[in-house]
Structure 1
């Protein structure tokens, strides 16, 4: 007797949201499983840098992820960044040493007050399962910041090759690790105890090594994020999962390759 493998078709809906906060139209792609009956557990994932998601075979990735999920469906919203990406992404209220991320608070407001109500109205289905926010590089930092600061909205955070180096002081101006903005935010705030974190780096994400310890900065900075979360009481692997991709680069093919692992962990059956 062979078990039937469920095949779920994924439709992609392209939409624009006029944002009062960002003063522009925001392009989004909604990846919507076909044939939702209404009795399934409905889960939602927001992804920053939707223009990178569009370079993946994401419909197939999502289709495959549904094969063992008979009683749940995952809806994904990929938010495309604008030419103002480096100002809109970052840590809300705390620009980096070059003033980048100055519009991060406005982007936070867009996500919470404009995007989510718009999406929920479009899909017209109650979200009964987890709500996650994830992103790549600087988009991962942004997703972490927004989800961390809105624990009543989000349950899961995913970061692929996160820009956790984001700092208040340049290396040439007496920088120390205490100048890393997200690490300091974790140290000084706390979110709900059941939030989950999936953090990924590639061993070839970059070549920079600030402290000359023969470990690239992206790995060092991510490991220190995990230490900060551990100090807050989050435990591994229940709350925090670290995926180090051997040979992984700071690029879309690497992130596409590890996406199934994130989806399976974040939205387990």
Structure 2
């Protein structure tokens, strides 16, 4: 079926866990018949959905018949963003991300049931979570730790530098928190990867960086840290048995910066990779 337009609405869910009202921007294609396979994308930093041109991008892709039916739920961040985003149970060296576990629990035990019961959105297709910068590693963390629910993750300019030790305190690359989480996790794709024997579901990952994301270059190898850190995430995933391009897609935007304008330009590529009528997975 060809969807011609997206309906955008805003809702608010009272979160007991986060102790705040969480604003949601929800994008649903018009003229659903009720018998479609309906996919779901959660988006961190939902307050940036307008700047990322989410509605306009969805409209264009639907009009070109490039997307399956997709519900996008953009979750607005709160004033406590720097604590709610991160890796659950693993705050950084400044104790940021201390509420990441609570945010994870909000998504899984409050938000998803709310979407199903209160908004009556029947999700029977693929389920993904995406985010930019710190919101990106939050999305990655939640997908990685809930592989029985989610199918895929999208990370735009992910803050994969997130570390447990300051650069001045004897930091090494082993102190990067997301990389450590992957190494120490039992998640793996096939028996034989590392020392784990039980395979995990075949998650898929779309990782994006911009060549002008930043200027920092910790190891002075001529490659900015955001690219190095993202490539090293891919290496950790490969060690777990995930493969390219079947499970991992890397998109490097020449001239891309660490801002909403760049991420809006990358958005169509991610959506087509994740939810295209012609599978890019």
TM, length-normalised to structure 2: 0.91
2:202 aligned residue: 194
Q: What is the CA-CA distance between 1:125 and the residue it aligns to?
A: 3.7
For 2:67 and 2:243, the matched residues in 1 are separated by: 28
Whether 2:241 is the aligned partner of 1:241: answer no
Aligned equivalent of 1:224: 232
SS in structure 2 of the partner of residue 72 of structure 1? coil
1:36/1:152 CA distance change after superposition, 3 Å = same
* Distance in 2 of aligned mates of 1:180 and 1:108: 20
Work out whether residues 43 and 75 of structure 2, in 8 Å CA contact, stay in contact via their aligned partners in 1.
Answer: yes
CA, structure 1 residues 72+39, in 2 after alignment: closer, same or farther (shift >3 Å)?
farther
User: d(CA) in 1 for partners of 2:176 and 2:218?
Assistant: 13
Q: Secondary structure of 1:256's match?
A: helix
**Given the superposition, is the C-alpha separation of residues 70 and 182 from structure 1 closer, same or farther in structure 2, using an over 3 Å criterion?**
closer
1:124 Cα deviation after fit: 1.9
The 8 Å contact of residues 193 and 234 in structure 1, kept in 2 or not, is answered as: no
| Corresponding residue of 1:136 | 132
- CA 1:97–1:235 in 2, change beyond 3 Å: closer, same or farther? same
Structure-1 residue corresponding to 2:157 = 161
- The answer to whether the Cα contact below 8 Å between 2:8 and 2:27 also exists between their aligned partners in 1 is yes
Q: Does 1:171 align with 2:179?
A: no
Structure 1, unmatched stretches of 5+, are none
Contact 2:68 2:275 (C-alpha < 8 Å) held by counterparts: no
- Partner of residue 20, structure 1: 16
C-alpha contact 1:38 1:125 (8 A) present in aligned 2: no
**Where in structure 1 do 4 or more consecutive aligned residues deviate above 6 Å?**
none
Match of 1:268 in 2: 276
Q: Count matched residues.
A: 265
* TM-score, scaled to structure 1: 0.95
